[in-house]
Amino acid sequence: MKRLNILFILGILIITSSINAQQTPAASQSEAITIVGATAHIGNGELIENSLIIFENGILTQVLDATTTKMQYRGTIINAEGKHVYPGFIAPNTTLGLVEIASLRPTDDEDEIGEMLPHIRSLVAYNAESQIVESMRPNGVLIGEIVPRGGTISGTSSIVQFDAWNWEDAAIKKDNGLHINWPNSFKRGKWWLGEERGLKPNEKYAEDILKLSQFFNNSRAYMAGEQKQENLPFKSMETVFTNGKKVFVHVDGEREIVDAIQFKKDQNLKDMVIVGGYDAVKVADLIKAENIAVLATRPHSTPNQDDEDYDYNYKLAKLLSDKGILVGLESSGQMERASTRNLPFYAGTVAASGMDKEEALKLITLNNAKILGIDDRLGTLEKGKDATLFISEGDALDMRTNKLTKAFIQGRELSLESHQTELYHRYSEKYENQKKE
């Protein structure tokens, strides 16, 4: 009991310190801002070497080549010669704001009890004052898709921006997609229950798929009936059937991907996205034929099989893009919340492995925006879109030169300080003083 009390108090202290450390959300844009002279990476593959960018009331009003226009500057003028400007990077399939410290249960809200949970909404559990969320911004990651975990159907995700007081203020697009964790045809032996270690065929694989199909069919029957007794999980499926809500299927194996695509056909799903897609290259033609997008697993991970190329994950996004598939990058996996700040460097690794640099940038800007259904507002530096962007001293896809000097979300200038930058300044000063002694 004493140990539990200590853990509870520790959790409260950590949560409190997290709230106190969070930077105050920026005030609304009060006057026009003009950025002059930067190399503008539009996010759609285009580049403007000497750009003129103007935004007012949180909206981009001009994105031009400064050498060919006589447009008059407006409001505050930022001279960005020699620097680079990018649209805010978009992180899909993340649990940011749902878990602060995995070992402290009071700060972990990514999963619920049950298998079929379409009624679970990640948005209402999102903690806008998370210290981890705050640490995304200094690397240019300004937008995220917040996704629940667990179960066969884990629930619905929402899109948020990373500068808000609460989830209501943070929301950009509510309940953008349903997430399904596709069953695996293999499973690992539970050695603690006396089973053999290692992978072995999942004898209940077909049964697991049947259960998923039955849930979809029962949900349709419920919606078509009188609904005398409310069933929240069934009712939550209505937007999937009637409005074509995106269905994100988390799946990696070749056989599983083929089965998931057949499920899409059987259930007449209008818009399906494969998340992970480790073996997607093996069935790329089928994926392309069904017009399915892929959120490719993060490049900074090792191959699954001993006989695969060491750089397989580095090349996966390019291999799929070369097949004509719409591809974005996601960052789930080990230490996924902290690692999401590395999203631009994942794109940089793809570029270093053969993809054109501006095409690699699209993997975390326009492509991710299209896949998440927010490309009408975000993902590129174009007139009429949200002024969600940042200025970097150098190449933002290179960890050596990704050094932000300014960042804006919907025209609001952000603080780029976080608990990590505070520690950096503290210990830099410490060691500088030691050098002088």
Residue 236: CATH number of its domain: 3.20.20.140
pLDDT for 12: 47
Q: Which amino acid appears at position 1 of this protein?
A: M
75 and 125 fall within a common domain: no
CB 392 within 8 A of CB 86: yes
Range of the domain at 422: 2-86+417-436
pLDDT for 8: 47
Given 330, 361, 379, the domain boundary residue is 379
If pLDDT is split at 50, 70 and 90, which confidence band does 427 have? confident
- Specify if 264 maps to a domain: yes
Closest CA to 299 of 249, 251, 347: 347
- Specify if 408 maps to a domain: no
Q: Which amino acid appears at position 11 of this protein?
A: G
Q: Provide the CB-side half-sphere exposure for 65 (13 A, CA).
A: 6
If pLDDT is split at 50, 70 and 90, which confidence band does 428 have? confident
99 and 229 fall within a common domain: yes
Residue 17 has pLDDT above 70, yes or no: no
36 and 118 fall within a common domain: no
| Strands 76-79 and 33-36, bridge-based pairing | parallel
The torsion angle over the Cα atoms of residues 177, 143, 378 and 57, rounded to 10 degrees, is 130
63 and 120 fall within a common domain: no
pLDDT for 109: 81
Instruction: For residue 111, give the DSSP letter.
Output: B
- Specify if 403 maps to a domain: no
Q: What is the mean pLDDT of the chain?
A: 91
Q: What is the pLDDT of residues 258-269, one digit of tens each?
A: 999 999 999 999
Q: What is the CATH number of the domain that holds 61?
A: 2.30.40
**The tokens of 142 are what?**
């300004």
pLDDT for 437: 67
The kind and range of the H/E element at 157 are: strand 153-161
Residue 111 has pLDDT above 90, yes or no: no
| Distance, CA of 4 to CA of 6 (rounded, Å) | 5
Mean pLDDT, range 189-217, rounded to an integer: 87
- Specify if 24 maps to a domain: yes
294 and 371 fall within a common domain: yes
Q: What is the pLDDT of residues 310-320, one digit of tens each?
A: 999 999 999 99
- Specify if 389 maps to a domain: no
- Specify if 387 maps to a domain: no
- Specify if 385 maps to a domain: no
96 and 74 fall within a common domain: no
pLDDT for 16: 46
47 and 99 fall within a common domain: no
Q: pTM of the full predicted structure? A: 0.91
Mean pLDDT, range 217-228, rounded to an integer: 89
Give CA 220 to chain center in angstroms.
30
287 and 251 fall within a common domain: yes
Given 379, 394, 426, the domain boundary residue is 379
The total of other beta-carbon atoms located within 10 Å of residue 412's CB is 18
- Number of domains forming the structure of the chain: 2
If pLDDT is split at 50, 70 and 90, which confidence band does 272 have? very high
